[in-house]
Structure 1
Amino acid sequence: MNKWKSILLPVLIISALMSCKDQKETGNVLSVEVYETSADGNNLTKVEPFQVSDSATVITINENKTFQTITGFGGAFTESSAYLLNRLSEKNRDTIINAYFSREGANYSLTRTHMNSCDFSLSQYSYSPVAGDMNLDHFTIEADQPDLIPMIKDAMAASENGFKIFASPWTAAPWMKDNNEWVGGSLLPKYYDTWALFFSKYIDAYKAEGIPIWGFTVENEPHGNGNNWESMHFTPREMTDFVQFHLGPKLEADGHGDKIILGYDQNRAGLREWVDVMYENEATSKYFDGTAIHWYESTYEVFPEELQYAHNKAPDKYLIETEGCVDSEVPAWKDDKWYWSKEATDWGWDWAAEDQKYLHPKYAPVNRYARDIIGCLNNWVDGWVDWNMVLDKQGGPNWFENWCAAPVIVDPDKDEVYFTPLYYTMAHFSKFIRPGAQVIGVDNPDKDLMVTAAKNPDGSIAFVIFNEGMENKNYTVRFRESEISINLGAQSLQTVLIPVTN
């Protein structure tokens, strides 16, 4: 440092602090806390001091303009994640559970799990193992006892605020399907009542374990998934008929009418045809509480028109992102830079039709998460659920070898844990935007910045801003009669928390 810098730097700092002090005395400076995750190395780090110089970009939070109420944010309990946790030391297991579910951690509030096996299981299994057992006399969740149920119970113990759990089946047992296979095929009509009973039995079995189930998606990816792993096909009409005439009435008759039923549960590009059938009239809509969506149609496109269409079709229903992950990738191990670099690819990089490949360019994993969550919140989505919470260095275990990334990667052989930047990205939303929060208006003049804001039940406001560009961006956030200018570095995600307001 030359002598002029050494002289001027303290002067500039003192001047900035005095300026900030003067503005505070006049009541014009907005009181905030800023948390940042960045390519430069911040990981949900509380950053200060703030830049007090003027900014050309003024972003105004408008609490009088209100949108959807938040259901929650979180991830999925899978057998693969639970199995890995059981292979770690007690200390590392507790560290991960607390990181996800404690108030000091990400404080997850909305979670998913699978009914029967899925690709992120150790093997294929069903809770209804006996063929022809129409009354499900042999129903058992024994397969969940070693790993999955203990993980959920540990999470419940760590969570001060509690969280919702919804369950999704990938397929019924092969004996209920027209192809008698785990993969593909459709549910035979003669087993519609048996399959509805399956959901009711599941609620009772998990309740006996002390685990309350909040709701269900009717079927994970009813279009199928390329005939790769567990799947079962429904058309929009078939699913609607199953819910209207079988699942809804059965849950109601068994005293489970309060359980949430989410339809569809696949990519957003197919939303219109599904909500048109699900919400065709009062009778078809009766038992559907909302719509579930995934993000795999594109690595960058949010599909706002489809989301808005789904909301407008059923404005009083849930619209929840129930699964998203960095798929078809072996995750980078202890390499934060990879998660900020546009090197990852997804299934579509190799397999999408030629006219759809433009939707699947290389991308940065952090960008994909941050862009999608903000884009969803700005288009009526009220919940956002990640996929596996924990995977190993290979991106498994996965019986089909469908390797994926997760926010937390572990090496069970060496008892090592790596919290990737994706974990901190999720926490920017789950920790600060709480269930019952209401998304509010934000006026943002800078098209290169993505922003969203929500007012929490306690009156605090969480404002999230993402700069995926390679240049620093100073901005001023204005709320009511106060404002503050903040420096936003290149490739940075910030949550600006405005304390409890009247």
Structure 2
Amino acid sequence: MKRRLHCLGLIAILMMTSCVQEKPQLEVEVYETASNGNTFEKVNPSASDEYDTQIIIVPEEKFQTITGFGGSFTEASAHLLNQLGAANRQRVLEAYFGEEGARYSLTRTHINSCDFALSNYSYAPIEGDVNLEHFSIEEDKEDIIPMIKEAMAISKDGFKIISSPWTAPPWMKDNKDWVGGKLLPEYYDTWALFFSKYIDAYKAEGIDIWGLTVENEPLGNGNNWESMHYTPEEMTQFVQNHLGPTLENLGKGNVKILGYDQNREHLNEWVDTMFENEETSKYFSGTAIHWYASTYEVFPEALQYAHQKAPDKHLIQSEACVDAEIPQWQNDSWYWQKEATDWGWDWAPESEKHLHPKYAPVNRYARDIIGCLNNWVDGWVDWNMVLDKQGGPNWFKNWCVAPVIVDPEKDEVYFTPLYHALKHFSKFIRPGAVRIGVKPSDDSLMVTAAKNPDGSIAIVVFNEGSTSKQVNFQIAENTTTVPINGQAIQTVMVEPDIQGTKNNQQNKQL
């Protein structure tokens, strides 16, 4: 009898020990897009406790506050939407801005025309109109403004708009042309006033402009689409002595001014000049960047340097797209294959050709967004929201790919895998979220995480390899294991009250 009681006592102790050691379950919702055909499909946690990779989430480690994610309102996109039937037009806008869609929170548009406009145009076409008495945004009222206003009506939380000029009117430039050249010093104040007039005109349409970039791609080009050149010193001097004071004096000091707005390989020299001292940096709210310097390189050192140079300023990726390609129509597999090329495949100098190999479009998006977030970037904006099967319309015939492709003649819409890849970030990582620490056990996966203002945690994982994995997620003592397919992007959502905490407390009491 004593022996039996002894055995029962040992069993009870072992059961209690097991109860104490067992980690409480982390309740999650998981969504996956993968090359196997999954498009934002729900994934159930694994029944097994075995895993290949562990990712520990550390909410106590806090980094940048997120401004948002989204895409751009271009005349090309807006014009195409106007050609669709009412149902498909609404479907596309709901997909980008609706609660069941991508919930875009940060957007961009162009001031005057750009390559993805239907023609060259300016809001101030009359030469010598230095006081801008004939300033008008009439050109935008047919396409861009209706698209923005419909998106505003759909968006529950609203979204921010960054506006960027590709060029001043030719009459303000030294070469009197749409392409290349520089702003003449005698028109610095007129060009600063131009920005203010633009903000007022859009305000009159019920549209608030959150931020401006001084110039799209100030390193420019000399023989392509609209452009205007600045050196870092010239742009800084224009903002310090003209644009910043003008906006401040006219009651628009709350509008953000973002400098640079081009590729990351030259970022260091620009932030060195912009943020040289208190006087040069006074009116800059941050820096805008593009990804076109490489199809795979994120330039983490440059991003880290820019953050360290101005840790209290924005660092926003303001433009990215699959360029120099005609979209593949209704062919999801192409977006997962390394067959895309970019401008650098043909045109980069030999010394930079290695930065422009073939790539898989989805991989490029996922790698860049995660790499940017993990290196202090607080906003990420795609280029055109909508293009046609040719990759236009584009007056220069500079064909590119957008997440949504349409055939207006047949009134058909194709949501490419790029749309779903972007949605994994924009839908779940909300403005005001704070990026938090992640500690993966190995480097086979890319991962980032952010804690939203409501306390929920969004974890985005990218498996570029072809092999599926079992991934264990742990927050404090709460844990779960989730399968991820090869060539897949996942968002793992953890609700504000992490499930399992109550059980964990009970176990400790035992």
TM-score, normalised via structure 1 length: 0.94
Which of the residues 379, 400, 420 maps onto 1:383? Answer: 379
Partners of 1:32 and 1:420 lie apart in 2 by 27
> Structure 2: where are the runs of 5+ without partners?
1-17, 499-510
Aligned mate of 1:252, from 248, 253, 259: 248
1:174-200 per-position Cα deviation (integer Å, ceiling 9, x unaligned): 000000000000000000000000000
Structure 1 range deviating more: 473-482 or 322-331:
473-482
**What's 1:452 paired with?**
448
- Tell me the amino acid that sits aligned with residue 478 of structure 1: Q
Which piece of structure 1 moves more, 399-408 or 478-487? Answer: 478-487
Q: Which residue of 2 aligns with 1:326?
A: 322
Distance (whole Å) between structure 1 residues aligned to residue 333 and residue 112 of structure 2:
37
Q: How does 1:396-475 map to 2 (within 5 A)?
A: 396-475=392-471
Moved more, 202-211 or 27-36: 27-36
1:500 to 496, 499, 509: 496
The equivalent position to 2:482 in structure 1, one of 479, 482, 486, is 486
Q: Distance in 1 between matches of 2:159 and 2:22?
A: 42
1:139-194 C-alpha deviation (Å, 9 max, x unpaired): 00010011000000000000000000010000001000000000000000000000
**Number of residue pairs the alignment of both structures matches:** 481
Deviation at 1:444, TM superposition (A): 1.0
The residue matched to 2:420 in structure 1 has which SS?
helix
Other-structure match for 1:124: 120
Q: How far off is 1:501 after superposition?
A: 3.2
- Which residue in the other structure is 1:308 paired with? 304
CA distance in 1, matches of 2:107, 2:255: 15
Q: C-alpha distance in 1, partners of 2:310/2:221?
A: 27
User: What is the one-letter code of the residue matched to 1:397?
Assistant: P
Distance in 2 (CA, whole Å) between partners of 1:413 and 1:50 is 46
Q: In structure 2, what is the equivalent of residue 179 of structure 1?
A: 175
Equivalent-residue separation in structure 1 for 2:106 and 2:454 (angstroms): 19
Q: Report what 1:108 is aligned to.
A: 104
The 3-state SS of whatever aligns with 1:181 is coil
1:189/1:52 CA distance change after superposition, 3 Å: same
CA-CA distance at 1:258 after TM superposition: 0.3
Instruction: Tell me which residue corresponds to 1:139.
Output: 135
Query: What is the SS of the residue equivalent to 1:99?
Result: helix
Question: Which residue number corresponds to residue 154 of structure 2?
Answer: 158
1:354 is aligned to 350
Residues 45 and 483 in structure 2, CA contact (< 8 A), matched pair in contact too: no
Q: Is 1:51–1:487's contact at 8 Å kept on the other side of the alignment?
A: no
1:45 Cα offset (Å): 1.4
C-alpha distance after superposition, 1:447-487 (max 9, x if no partner): 12100000000000000000011111211011111111111
Q: Of the candidates 272, 276, 290, which is equivalent to residue 272 of structure 2?
A: 276
SS in 1 for 2:344: helix
* CA displacement 1:201-243 (0-9 Å, x = unmatched): 0000000000011010000000003531000000000000000
8 Å CA contact 2:57–2:475 kept in 1: the answer is yes
- Could you tell me how far 1:26 is from its partner in structure 2? 6.2
Q: 1:103 deviation in Å?
A: 1.3
> Which letter does structure 1 place at the counterpart of 2:317?
E
Distance apart, 1:56 and its partner CA: 3.3
Could you tell me which runs of 5 or more consecutive residues in structure 1 were left unpaired when the two chains were aligned.
1-21
User: Cα distance, 1:99 vs. partner?
Assistant: 0.4
Q: Classify the secondary structure of the residue corresponding to 1:370.
A: helix
**Residue in 2 that maps onto 1:225:** 221
Name the aligned partner's letter for residue 490 of structure 2: Q
Q: Does 1:286 align with 2:282?
A: yes
Give the whole-Å Cα distance in 2 for the aligned partners of 1:445 and 1:127.
55
Distance 2:257 2:424 in 1: 28
Which of the two has higher C-alpha Rg? 2
* Helix, strand or coil at the partner of 2:401: coil
TM-score normalised by L of structure 2: 0.93
Per mean C-alpha deviation after superposition, the further-off stretch among 190-199 and 474-483 is 474-483
After superposition, the C-alpha distances for 1:106-142 in whole angstroms (9 at most, x for unaligned) are: 0000000000000000000000010010000000001
Sequence identity (%)? 69
Aligned pairs for 1:14-93 (under 5 A) are 28-93=24-89
Q: Following the alignment from structure 1 to structure 2, what is the Cα–Cα distance between the partners of residues 448 and 51? A: 22
Deviations 1:394-451 (A, max 9, x none): 0000000000000000000000000000000000000000000000000012212100
2: CA distance, partners of 1:232 / 1:381: 26
Q: Which runs of 4+ in 1 moved over 3 A?
A: none
2:61–2:437 contact (8 Å) kept in structure 1: yes
Map of 2:235 onto structure 1: 239
Secondary structure at 1:350 match in 2: helix
How many Å separate the matches in 2 of 1:389 and 1:226?
27
